[in-house]
Amino acid sequence: MAKAKVTMEVGNDGVAVITFVNPPVNALAIQIFAGLKEKWNEAAMRNDVKAIVLTGYGGRFSGGFDINVFEKVHKTDDVSLLPDVSVDLVTNIMEDGKKPAVAAVEGLCLGGGLELALGCHARIAAPRTQLGLPELSLGVLPGSGGTQRLPRLIGLSKAIDMMMTSKPIMSEEGEKLGLIDAVVPSKELLKVARQWALDIAERRKPWMRSLHRTDKIGSLSEAHEVLKLARKQVKQTARNMPQHLACLDVIEEGIVHGGYNGVLKEAKVFEDLVLSDTSRGLVHVFFAQRATSKVPNVTDIGLKPRPVKKVAIIGGGLMGSGIATSLVLSNIFVIIKEINPEYLQKGIKTVEANIRGLVARKKLQQDKANKAFSMVKGVLDYSEFKDVDMVIEAVIENVPLKQQIFIDIEKVCPPHCILASNTSTIDLNVIGQKMSSQDRVIGAHFFSPAHVMPLLEIIRTTKTSAQAILNLMAVGKTIKKVPVVVGNCTGFAVNRTFFPYAQSAQFLANLGVDVFRIDAQIISFGLPIGPFQLQDLAGYGVATATQKEYSSAFPDRIFKSPLLDLLIKSGRNGKNNGKGYYIYKKGEKARPDPSVLPIIEESRRLTNIMPGGKPISITDQEIVEMILFPVVNEACRVLDEGIVVRASDLDVASVLGMSFPSYRGGIVFWGDTVGAGHIYKSLRKWSELYGNFFKPSKFLEERAAKGIPLSAPAATSSASRSRM
């Protein structure tokens, strides 16, 4: 890999072209900043240099600050590792330097890269260059003057929108807004930038210092109104995250007290935020997601994935049609097989509706939608399975049915074909036990809705070939999912880890805690909905079926609540029929249904676990802990049994599959943030009060006793060897 460096070439025209080199995206490593400072000072001193052009190597300006530095800061708690870029380099040396500088940007100009460009006196861009400040998505804020210069160039509202959403814009829009001075063809970029820099030096074009501009800010009262509205929105959309409000405070500082004061405050707040739990969590998830693509004995043994061009899906229900949508949108031909014409028509129509929905929301162009429509075909038998590269079974959770399907497809599919099941709980060894080619059997567990949720949980048995795993990982990436490879057991990694989640909620409800208060506290913690509304949305049939699987797999730690059966007997089925814990009406927000309370009371009477027959007294924090500590406890068992390659895989899976808040770093990372000791003591106390459901796992007990993080690699046990 090329070493990060900065080069400078001075032309006969008197323009010094300073280029940073750190492929593939010219990440701004610490040595890049040191090199920039050195070259800029040299250019300033040289008599043969009239002006400067700043650019990036290889058709990309810069993807931003090197995030590896954040990771080092998090490990050491040492903010002095962060370079002094904002005041020393961008403001004093670049913007206030004696020679004009023009940024020539192309491809990517993000984060610290855009902030360097903002410190120049003009910006020339190639077409379709991405411009953005995505720092808030990593728990920090733009730390090199971006909070001050961007509003001064494009206006306060648009600048706030770009920073709060972390979404980039294209250079064409940047030109309209005033962020970019000119968009020119890539081959003319340097030529135009050089001339522009000379024109500034010779006073033919204005010498603009962004930090000194005020014309786009508006009056103080207008600015206060914009900031007030932004704060209100942030409190709704970014609860529990400090960086959004901190960023708005820093922007306001610069508007009220001047850009330079804003830059000083920005630098201080940046350092505080880097050390926050939020930044630690988000940076952890960023690196953890990258690590999922490395699977020992699969991705490191020289195999190449086989192209998958045609996929058959058995079952066109909600999951099957969602999976089909994902595949056709990525140019993979799909055959949907159903048992009768009515079901088949419904499945095809659902795929078409999914695609039309994306067009309506402007997430897909019509011509691409038309192509996707043509990539799906419906069949009622196996005659067209002879040339498929993969089959995904997506029928109901019924063991004999799935076994028969796998016997049938083994006979009709070509020898290279991957035979995958979308089961969410059933052990794959059971599904494939009557087949001869078990090396092709694999789990492809999508999460609902399959064309929206980003996780693909890939389940390997002890017999699944490395080639089949690699092929499915490649398909996952093609359809823009994050594939996480896990071992085989009931519920696999994600659903197994989270099976205590709904049960803890039922436990609390039967201890007398208000179900709507439980949901509210879980939402307040950061999940999109609470456990009871989740049960309503999934449907009670799913909950009953999975409960049966877990009861037989983990009988020692199951809480059997009669509540679900009572709800079904009373004619409720959640959102499916509009009545569950909540009332569902089309076009209206779900609202709590008070008529469910007598049913909950009946469940409490039957379980009879309330101490002295009275509801327990519990704090909001204890509600969250009693719901989520059993989940961490099960995660410990999953780690101990070697179901996942590494703890961070479970973190990624919990964030992408269960919508666990990314700013908390995932389920294991959050467990470490809270501390194994506190989790162990709490579970032990509850297990003494309420029984085995809360009993701490051996893994958790050992980690708590020795003070070892839950995420530290587990010792290789016979269990872990058998699973992965």
95, 106, 115, 625: the catalytic one is 115
Q: Where are the beta strands (DSSP E) in 57-154?
A: 101-105, 108-110, 122-125, 130-132
Q: Rounded to an integer, what distance in angstroms lies between the CA atom of residue 150 and that of residue 140? A: 16
Residue 384 φ/ψ, nearest 5 degrees? -95, 10
Beta strands in 338-386 (DSSP E): 376-379
602 belongs to the catalytic site? no
Task: Give me the catalytic one of 135, 266, 338, 457.
Answer: 135
Annotated catalytic residue 115: yes
3-state secondary structure of 585: coil
The CA distance from 183 to 128, in Å, is 9
Report angle CA 405, 411, 412 to the nearest 5 degrees: 90
Name residues whose C-beta falls within 8 Å of residue 688's C-beta, 6 or more positions apart in sequence: none
Nearest 5°: the CA angle 460, 461, 467 is: 55
Residues 6+ apart with CB under 8 A from 656: 447, 453, 454, 455, 482, 484
For residue 504, the number of C-alpha atoms closer than 13 Å in the C-beta half-sphere is 28
Total residues belonging to the chain? 724
DSSP 91: I
Q: Which two tokens stand for residue 265?
A: 């405050």
Enumerate residues 6+ apart whose C-beta is below 8 A from 180: 105, 123, 124, 125, 131, 171, 174
Instruction: Map residue 297 onto helix, strand or coil.
Output: coil
Alpha helices in 485-530 (DSSP H): 494-510, 515-525
Q: Please, are residues 368 and 287 in contact by the beta-carbon 8 Å criterion?
A: no
DSSP 641-682: TT-BSSHHHHHHHHHHHH---GGGT-HHHHHHHH-HHHHHHH
Q: What angle do CA 444, 448, 449 make, to 5 degrees?
A: 115
- The residues, ordered by sequence, that sit 6+ positions from 167 with a Cβ below 8 Å of its Cβ are 132, 134
Catalytic site positions: 115, 135
